[in-house]
Each structure stands twice: as structure tokens, then as C-alpha cells.
Amino acid sequence: MLLVLRALLVLSLAPLLHGAKKSQSVSAKLGPRAGLKGNSVRLVIDPSVLPHFTAKSPSSIANMSLSPWTYIDSSVDSRLPKHISNAQCLTTGCLSPQGGGEDRGLEAKPIKYEVLVLHRVLKPSKKKGRKARKQYIFTLGTEVITAGCTCVRPTVIPQG
């Protein structure tokens, strides 16, 4: 069980590996119930694994696709995460693999994905006047985002 927890910890630190340099180490604070000795774990980054995480950026994948897309950022100050990127398909059809332009026999469709977000909401105060402090609570919510675009065959409904 302890080995599984350690493996999950390392997997959750993978995004940190992306931004670290060869000579850097990454530390993670653990709570008292983590079952590991000490308060932190030192993770020394092996440079041989970095190409695995940095091989393809999201924008290069979007440009290589037969249904290319671009990202549009949305920012909401009262939401965590504050910034979320949504993909927008650049074509209605799909690009021909042979390079002959758009193929109207296929359609570019967005790939939808539901993500969890936290919304910061002002907590109603029981105190009135100048001594009342603003307090916030976080509510869990979901948002549907567009992760990318894909090629599909058009839906044909026969008339009968």
C-alpha cells in the first residue's frame, strides 16, 4: 500500500518535472498522515525522462492535426483555476493527408471535456457595520471545456 502511495505521489509531481532544469530538485510537503518519514520528499530529476514530458507541446499537436485548432483563454478571477484554455476548430472540414486542402467528406468536431473547478463566493456576514470582515467560501462546480478537435464522418439521416 505504501508503495502505491509513493507511486501516486511521483505521478502527481510529473507536471513539476516539466518546468524543472537538470540540476534542480523538486520538494513536496506531505501531511502527517502520509505514512512517510519526515515532512518532505526530495525528488531528483533524471534528465533522461525530460524528453518524454516535453516531446510535443499542445500547440504543435494542434497544428499537426487533420482538424487543426487554436486555443482561446478565458479568465475568471473568482474561479480556481483562474485561466482555462478552450480549443476552437479552425476548419469545418478536415485537411487532406495528401495536402490537397480541405476534405468536405469529413467534419471537424470539437472534443468536449468536463473539468472540476472551484468558485469563490462571498460568505454572508452575521456582523453589520465596519467590523464585518469579508469571508469567502469555495463551492465545487464543473465546466465543459473544448480540449481539441477531431475528424468525424458526417451524420446522414435518411429521409423516408
60 or 9, which is more confident: 60
In a 13 Å sphere around the CA of 148, the CA atoms on its Cβ side amount to 13
Same domain membership, residue 103 and residue 50? no
Rounded mean pLDDT of 46-74?
74
Q: Is the peptide bond before 47 cis (omega within 30 degrees of 0)?
A: no
Kindly state the cell numbers that stand for 80. Answer: 480556481
Q: How confident is the model at residue 23 (pLDDT cuts 50, 70, 90)?
A: very low
> Is residue 66 one of the residues assigned to a domain?
yes
Dihedral (Cα; 137, 143, 147, 153), 10-degree rounding: 170
Q: What is the pLDDT of residue 79?
A: 95
Residue 84, domain member (yes or no):
yes
* pLDDT value of position 127: 74
Q: Does position 116 have pLDDT exceeding 70, yes or no? A: yes
**Per-residue model confidence (pLDDT) at position 115:** 96
Say whether both 46 and 64 belong to one domain: no
The count of structural domains within the chain is: 2
One domain, residues 142 and 64: yes
Q: Which of 54, 76, 93 is the last residue of a domain?
A: 54
The domain that holds 96 is classified in CATH as 2.10.90.10
Same domain, 77 and 137: yes
**Of 49, 36, 32, residue with least CA distance to 8:** 36
pLDDT for residue 53 is more than 50? no
Range of the domain at 120: 58-124+133-152
Give the C-alpha separation, 100 to 92, whole Å: 15
Which pLDDT value is given to residue 103?
87
Q: Are residues 19 and 68 in the same domain?
A: no
Answer yes or no: is 157 within a domain: no
DSSP state of 37: S
Average pLDDT, the chain: 74
Residues 68 and 100 both lie in one domain: yes
Q: Is residue 158 part of a domain?
A: no
Same domain membership, residue 141 and residue 99? yes
Model pLDDT for residues 76-110, shown as the tens digit of each residue: 999 999 999 999 999 999 998 888 788 888 999 99
